[in-house]
Amino acid sequence: MAMFDKLLANLRASKKTIVFTEGTDARILSAADRLLKEDLMGVILCGSAEEVAAAAAAGGFDVSKATVLDPATYPEMDALVAQMAELRKGKMTEEECRKALTKSNYFGTMLVKAGKADALLGGATYSTADTVRPALQIIKTKKGSSLVSSSFILFREKDGKEETIAMGDCAINLGYSDKLDKDGNVVQTAAQQLAEVAVETARTAACFGIDPKVAVLSFSTYGSGKGGTVQLSHDAVLAARELDPNLVIDGEFQFDAAVSAEVAKTKCPDSKVAGQANTFIFPMIEAGNIGYKIAQRLGGFEAYGPILQGLNAPINDLSRGCVADEVYKMAIITAGMA
Ligand SMILES: CC(C)(COP(=O)(O)OP(=O)(O)OC[C@H]1O[C@@H](n2cnc3c(N)ncnc32)[C@H](O)[C@@H]1OP(=O)(O)O)[C@@H](O)C(=O)NCCC(=O)NCCS
């Protein structure tokens, strides 16, 4: 698939190391075997050496080239605890950090923070929240970002043509509201937050070879409807243009105006995005999560994500229903973005 070309080129240009938090899971071991055979990245598996070896033998996987790290016996645990306690000063005690680090979601995240790995992939058994929370608490937002969000990359082959689109945020932010300082002054509007999601989703899209044309979605096109989050979508377009003047973005649009040239001709003929959008921004997580799943289940798209954006290091979450091939591809995405 052409959408992986850039990521594979990145991986071949500089070898990265990925940490898998669920080192005994058969799907993880199968993907790790394949990644190591193809020499795409270094692999760290979290778990006890005996249990990883037993699970690998049971599935017939060769992970002999992986590094297995067990939080129960990790020789540098004291240093990791001290580093985490410093990072979480005032929010978690040293004892709480030590306890958290017995779990591989926190342990794996700290391995990234400590520079032992470049990227992390988890969530084969952990929930999204339990995979993402340690990243939010420890890895934090990158410089210039105020929030972490996510996108899905959707791919299908139709009539002999490859089609790749991006959607955000379908998985992380439960809502957008104005951020106030202690005196009640607005320091960041909800629209500025959604604008940041749009800019980051466009950047993620570009990593997959998409030339982003970004539509901010709504149930209204250019003010045809009122109420709900129409104003938020409208204002987010303006805020995104301020944030990144080179971004090709427009809205607010109904989905049909965003993708159908015919509908765009009647509803918004002068737009440079309407009718040809390939990067879609949802005003709320419900719309985004339902929307990408409709594309996946009824539209025949393969869905990759949620791909986290705005973090200081690439950390991604798997669906608990994932299969080994998805783990393999998500590992390429995650390490390729490092
Ligand atoms: C991501 C999520 C787990 C965070 O929730 P939470 O742990 O309750 O978050 P909290 O408000 O307690 O914040 C925890 C920390 O993360 C930070 N944080 C929370 N959301 C953040 C965001 N979007 N960007 C950056 N930082 C964020 C907080 O500032 C806080 O940092 P601190 O502890 O250093 O002060 C939550 O938003 C969530 O459940 N999202 C939906 C996940 C989901 O189920 N998706 C659908 C499946 S794909």
Domain holding 129: CATH number?
Answer: 3.40.50.10950
Do 317 and 291 belong together in one domain? no
Quick one: which H or E segment has residue 119?
A: strand 119-122
Q: What is the mean pLDDT of the segment spanning 50-68?
A: 97
- Which of 213-227, 249-263, 319-333 is least confident? 319-333
Number of domains in the chain: 2
pLDDT given for residue 2 in this prediction: 79
| Beta strands at 279-281 and 42-46: parallel, antiparallel or unpaired | unpaired
pLDDT given for residue 112 in this prediction: 98
Do 25 and 121 belong together in one domain? yes
Parent domain of 51: 2-140+311-336
CA–CA distance, 147 with 288 (Å, rounded to integer):
17
Do 115 and 155 belong together in one domain? no
Do 186 and 135 belong together in one domain? no
* pLDDT per residue as tens digits for the range 156-166: 999 999 999 99
Across the chain, mean pLDDT equals: 96
Do 89 and 20 belong together in one domain? yes
CA–CA distance, 193 with 3 (Å, rounded to integer):
27
Quickly list DSSP for 253-294: E-HHHHH-HHHHHHH-TT-SSTTS--EEE-SSHHHHHHHHHH
Do 158 and 291 belong together in one domain? yes
Do 10 and 92 belong together in one domain? yes
**Nearest atom (ligand 1) to Cα of 306:** 48
Do 223 and 316 belong together in one domain? no
Token reading at 262: 């015919």
pLDDT given for residue 319 in this prediction: 86
Contact 244, 280 (CB under 8 A): no
Checking if the pLDDT of 1 tops 80, the result is: no
Residues near ligand 1 with C-beta < 6 Å? 91, 128-129, 132-133, 136-137, 141, 147-148, 171-174, 289, 306
Q: What is the mean pLDDT of the segment spanning 242-266?
A: 97
CA–CA distance, 220 with 228 (Å, rounded to integer):
10
* pLDDT per residue as tens digits for the range 261-283: 999 999 999 999 999 999 999 99
Preceding peptide of 169 cis, ω within 30°? yes
Do 160 and 297 belong together in one domain? yes
Residues above pLDDT 70, as percent of the chain: 100
Q: What is the mean pLDDT of the segment spanning 170-189?
A: 95
- Nearest C-alpha to atom 35 of ligand 1 is from which residue? 137
> Mutation test of ligand 1: which of 136, 140, 289, 316 has the most ligand atoms closer than 8 Å to its C-beta?
136
Do 63 and 99 belong together in one domain? yes
* pLDDT per residue as tens digits for the range 72-92: 999 999 999 999 999 999 999
Do 129 and 155 belong together in one domain? no
